[in-house]
């Protein structure tokens, strides 16, 4: 009986530990080759995009130089082009969306990962939030025009009437403006920030929580002093990705930001962004305007690249500091 058992075990061990066949080796090498090729293809595609956009923008770069970035005038008839208001509108609206979306995204992640909900309700709320990412941006734009702006206009006008001496409320909300655009951007980046923050919070070892509870910490002390600092690197990565998402948004901002070439701190004033400028002017652009718009595209790509580089540097430094502290 024992010999039969040992024989069966030996058969199973030999069948499990058998060397890879020729087909297995071929599939493994093919898969590694495909992943290697796709990785290089991604790099080559980025280089191709940079070369194409930069080549089309080269005449405009040579003609207008840095004055294109510092000028506030966009007059097609006079041939005067400047994108400083668009750069300001892009950064201003994206930062507002990052502040609001970051706060609510992290709050939602805490709410979904720290046992505030019954296990049966957690998947429902997660799916609802993730479904926000599936809504087209043009639908967000229409919702902002017909629902959001009429809803916030009384509050905006009250702020202008009683707090108009503050630069942030220096104008009334007559229609599209920075605040409606920022609020819609907040909703659009919310799924990204909340999902990645939720993954970062879920990756915190449970023993850290148990140790903090064992030392007498309350629930919110554990969340604020143990879990959030431990997951700070992942949460920051979520914020960087959300900021990049906000920088490149086009259709919703083209419908809501107001398309006005001006610099203003007021949340209720119309403005413009680089992505909206490209979307609205390319269909009717001539050869000269195409070069100028390509120059604006290069500026937008440079801003996005700079944000990603800074985010990666901060993440690398934070990770190094955390690993040093653990040692």
Dump the DSSP string for 224-271. IIIIHHHTHHHHHHHHHHHHHHHHT--HHHHHHSB--------TTS-B
Percent of the chain with pLDDT over 90: 36
Average pLDDT over the chain reads 86
pLDDT for the residue numbered 323: 62
Domains defined for the chain, CATH in brackets: 88-280 (1.10.3720.10)
Q: Comparing 119 with 111, which gets the higher pLDDT?
A: 111
Distance of CA 315 to the CA centre of its chain: 15
Given pLDDT bands bounded at 50, 70 and 90, which one contains residue 35? very high
Structural contact between residues 210 and 172, judged by C-beta atoms closer than 8 angstroms: no
**What's the average model confidence in pLDDT over 306-322?**
79
Given pLDDT bands bounded at 50, 70 and 90, which one contains residue 322? low
Give the whole-angstrom CA distance, residue 125 versus residue 108.
10
Give yes or no for residue 38 having a pLDDT over 70.
yes
pLDDT for the residue numbered 326: 56
Given pLDDT bands bounded at 50, 70 and 90, which one contains residue 146? very high
**What's the average model confidence in pLDDT over 54-69?**
88
292-313 pLDDT, tens digit each: 999 999 999 999 889 888 888 8
pLDDT for the residue numbered 324: 59
The model's pTM: 0.85
Q: Which residues of 202-241 are buried (b: 16+ CB within 10 A; e: fewer)?
A: eebeeeebeebeeeebeeeebbeebbbebbebbbbbbbbb
Given pLDDT bands bounded at 50, 70 and 90, which one contains residue 317? confident
pLDDT for the residue numbered 206: 87
pLDDT for the residue numbered 1: 45
Percent of the chain with pLDDT over 70: 93
């Amino acid at each position: 009986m024992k010999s039969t058992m040992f024989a069966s075990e030996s058969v199973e061990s030999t069948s499990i530990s058998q060397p890879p066949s020729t087909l297995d080796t071929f599939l493994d090498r093919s898969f590694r080759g495909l992943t290697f090729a796709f990785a290089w293809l991604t790099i080559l595609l980025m280089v191709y995009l940079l070369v194409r956009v930069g080549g089309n923008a080269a005449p405009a770069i040579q003609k207008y130089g840095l004055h294109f970035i510092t000028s506030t005038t966009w007059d097609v008839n006079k041939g005067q082009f400047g994108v400083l208001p668009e750069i300001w509108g892009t950064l201003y609206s994206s930062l507002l969306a990052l502040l609001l979306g970051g706060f609510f995204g992290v709050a939602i992640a805490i709410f979904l990962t720290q046992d505030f909900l019954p296990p049966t309700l957690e998947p429902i709320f997660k799916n609802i939030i993730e479904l926000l990412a599936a809504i087209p941006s043009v639908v967000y734009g229409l919702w902002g025009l017909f629902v959001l702006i009429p809803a916030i206009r009384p509050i905006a006008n009250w702020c202008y009437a009683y707090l108009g001496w503050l630069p942030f409320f220096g104008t009334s909300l007559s229609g599209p403006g920075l605040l409606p655009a920022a609020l819609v951007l907040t909703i659009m980046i919310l799924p990204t920030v909340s999902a990645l923050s939720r993954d970062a919070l879920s990756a915190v070892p449970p023993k850290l929580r148990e140790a903090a509870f064992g030392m007498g910490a309350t629930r919110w002390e554990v969340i604020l002093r143990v879990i959030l600092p431990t997951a700070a690197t992942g949460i920051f990565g979520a914020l960087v990705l959300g900021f990049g998402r906000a920088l490149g948004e086009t259709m919703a901002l083209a419908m809501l930001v107001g398309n006005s070439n001006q610099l203003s701190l007021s949340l209720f004033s119309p403005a413009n962004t680089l992505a909206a400028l490209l979307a609205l002017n390319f269909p009717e652009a001539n050869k000269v305007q195409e070069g100028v718009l390509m120059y604006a595209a290069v500026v937008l790509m440079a801003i996005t690249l700079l944000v990603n580089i800074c985010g990666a540097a901060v993440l690398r430094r934070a990770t190094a500091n955390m690993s040093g502290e653990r040692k």
